[in-house]
Amino acid sequence: MPYDLAAIRRSIPALSREVAGRPAIFADAPGGTQVCEAVIAAIGDYLRHSNANLGGAFATSQETVALVAEARRAVAAFCNAPDPAGIVFGANMTSLTFSFSRAVATTWSAGDEVVVTSLDHDANVAPWLRAAEDRGAVVKVCRWSRVDGTLTVDDLAPLLSPRTRLVAVTAASNATGGITDLRPLVDAAHAVGALVYVDAVHLAPHRSLDLAGWGCDALACSAYKFGGPHVGILAADVGLLDRLPAYKVRPSSPKPPGKWETGTQNFAGLAGVIAALDHLGDLGGGGHDREALVAGMAAIAAHEAGLSRRFLDGAARIRGLRVHGVTDPDEIDHRTPTFALTSTRWKPQDAAEHLGAQGIFTWAGHFYAIGCIDQLGLTDQGGVLRIGFAHYHGPDEVDRVIEALAAL
């Protein structure tokens, strides 16, 4: 089906905002995407008509039970998780990862090994550092060797040993946009008996997630990165969730997923998550089953590939500007439309402020991708200027961003 960018943009009310008389360009998408009207309506409708807690013998409670079950089914389809019982909701990806790391670490002994990467957001590093510290485990850091800043199994393999208990790796860099080829890394980790935990936060708005296909033991993402509200998601093997000793209050469910969910969930947010997945599924034929979501994400990937090519072509003509990460047009499928920029002519924060005054919203700094910015040698220079597009951006917006960068 044709990609109707105009219809997508009409469905997202934030895109009508203006700054200094010109339409705002939300090139801050890697930090959080804008939401469609249906997501806003779904949250409001739940609060108006079905606002209740679980377990009551009355209509609004029963409606909330059904809503949560549907949210698990929809998210399981999005993540390609075989069992909706493996879908755990929480405040955000970071909180869920700290909770999961604390539980996994109870199975470790002094001298066991954990591998993290220099490409990851700190939400997939710090929890494992703390867990290793608590248990006396050894932490190894996997650094990328490719010029384009993507990780390969050749980077990981030398760090693995029979003592490796867990590998934490990102599906895509939230700084440079590079996409990790996960399956070879997962297979290598599993070959030595290690679990694999994947940070899929940055990839989720741009590609289909694939717990089963990647073979990883768990992945985590956040709905606000793919057009939903602030809800954290953990998708994992149900058997693993069942075996691990989750930290929870005593009367709660002894089985997953309830075993892993602390306190009352954001039920209104879950209504928004379903609506966000419907929005993505509508691009692939409608609904939020796996087939529609895969088709919708494929349409998004094709549209965003065009945006990436256009941006890279324009950026290459700007004197003094450098794009860090994948820049080869033939490798465009190995990146998201997120770009880490530096220049001989400006500092990242100054550039972000200048662009912001023109209604072009960007980020400057390290974005918690501390290891990535360190390996690039840019920490002392203020990190990078990060410009990121999403499925609702068009080529005219890319051109306007390029014009503004050239004017800098």
Q: Dump pLDDT digits (tens) for 247-270.
A: 988 878 889 999 999 999 999 999
- In the chain, the amino acid numbered 228 is G
Rounded-to-integer distance, Cα 229 and Cα 268, Å: 9
CB 348 within 8 A of CB 392: no
Question: Quick one: pLDDT at residue 250?
Answer: 83
Question: Quick one: pLDDT at residue 12?
Answer: 98
User: Can you tell me the mean pLDDT for 82-102?
Assistant: 98
Number of H helices, E strands in the chain: 14, 13
Rounded-to-integer distance, Cα 89 and Cα 107, Å: 23
Joined tokens for residue 397: 């917006």
If 0-12 CB within 10 Å is exposed, 13-18 middle and 19+ buried, where does residue 43 land?
A: buried
- Within the chain, which residue ranges are assigned CATH 3.90.1150.10? 5-36+298-407
Tell whether the torsion through CA atoms of 157, 139, 225 and 85 is positive or negative: positive
Residue 76 has pLDDT above 80, yes or no: yes
Residue 172 has pLDDT above 80, yes or no: yes
- Distances in Å between the Cα of 368 and the Cα atoms of 95, 122, 177, 291 are 15, 5, 14, 34
Encode pLDDT of 191-232 as tens digits: 999 999 999 999 999 999 999 999 999 999 999 999 999 999
CB 385 within 8 A of CB 351: yes
> Which H/E stretch holds residue 46?
helix 37-49
User: Can you tell me the mean pLDDT for 173-193?
Assistant: 98
- Distances in Å between the Cα of 265 and the Cα atoms of 64, 81, 92, 194, 214 are 11, 20, 11, 31, 28
Indicate the CATH number of 5-36+298-407 among 3.20.20.70, 3.90.1150.10, 3.30.1490.190, 3.40.190.10: 3.90.1150.10
Tell whether the torsion through CA atoms of 213, 173, 221 and 255 is positive or negative: positive
Name the CA radius of gyration of the chain, rounded: 21
- Distances in Å between the Cα of 350 and the Cα atoms of 167, 325, 346, 382 are 37, 22, 7, 10
Question: Quick one: pLDDT at residue 272?
Answer: 98
Output the CA torsion 327→157→180→212 (10° steps). 160
Per the DSSP assignment, residues forming a β-bridge with 196 are 167
CA contacts within 13 A on the Cβ side of 372: 30
What architecture is domain 42-280? 3-Layer(aba) Sandwich (3.40)
Question: Quick one: pLDDT at residue 24?
Answer: 98
